[in-house]
Amino acid sequence: MKNTLSNIQKVIKIKFKDVDLLKRSLTHKSFDNKDNYEKLEFLGDRVLGLTISKKLIKEYSDEEVGSLDKKLASLVNKNTCYEIGKKLNLEKFIIVGKTKKKIKIEDKIISDCCEALIGAIFIEKGMHIAEKFILSNWNESIKSAKVTLVDSKTKLQEYSLKKFKILPIYKLISNSGPKHKPNFKVAVKLKDSNFIEANGNSIKKAQQAAAEKFLKNIDL
C-alpha cells in the first residue's frame, strides 16, 4: 500500500502529508463502507466546476452564458472525468473490496475517483494547487471545447446518474446487414424502466438514437 500511494503521488506530482486522505480518495465503498471516496467526490465535483467555470470566462470572454454553460457541461461530465482518470492510470491505484464476486473497476468508479482526488488535493493543498492540477489536466479539453449541444447519450447518462446514481444500461440486440452497410439494433434502459430500441449503422450511432428516443419519453 505504501508503494501504491507513493506511485500515485509521483503520477499527480503532488506530495501528501496526510496520506490517509489520499488513500480515502481512491477507496471504493466495497472496501470500506464508511471511509471511502464518496464525500471527497462530492467536494471535488464542486471544485472542478468552479475552476473550469472561472477558466472558461477568461478563455472565452466574448461568448454568451448559454455557450459557456454547454462547454462547462462537456468538460465536467462523467465522460471527461473518466478520460482524465484513464490518462492518470487511476484504475491501478483504486482500492476495492475482496468479495466472492470480484468488483469490476468500471468507468464510473474511475470518473468518481478522479473527482475525489481533486477533493483530496483541495483539502490537502488548498484551492491554488487544486486549480493548478485541474487546469494542467483539462488544458487540452478546454482549448478544444466546442459550442455544441450535449449529445443525447451524454444527456441521458447525466439524467440517470443524477436521479438513480447509476449509468444507463445499453444492450446490443442484433447486428445484421452486409459489412459495407451494417445495421445495429441497440436497446437502452434506466434503473427499473423498460428497454427502448433504436437502429444505426454503428453501435455508437444506434446508442445515440436509442438515448434520443428514450429522452423523448421522460421529463428533464
Give the catalytic positions in this structure.
45, 115
The beta-carbon contacts of 158-167 under 8 Å, at least 24 apart in sequence, are: 158/73, 158/77, 158/78, 159/190, 159/215, 159/218, 159/220, 160/190, 160/191, 161/78, 161/108, 163/190, 164/190, 164/191, 166/108, 166/191, 167/78, 167/107, 167/108
26 is written with which cell numbers? 481512491
CA torsion angle 153 189 157 163 (round to 10): 150
In this structure, what are the phi and psi dihedrals at residue 107, rounded to the nearest 5 degrees?
A: -55, -45
Q: Any idea which residue has 483504486 for its cell? A: 94
Q: What is d(CA 194, CA 148) in angstroms, rounded to the nearest whole number?
A: 30
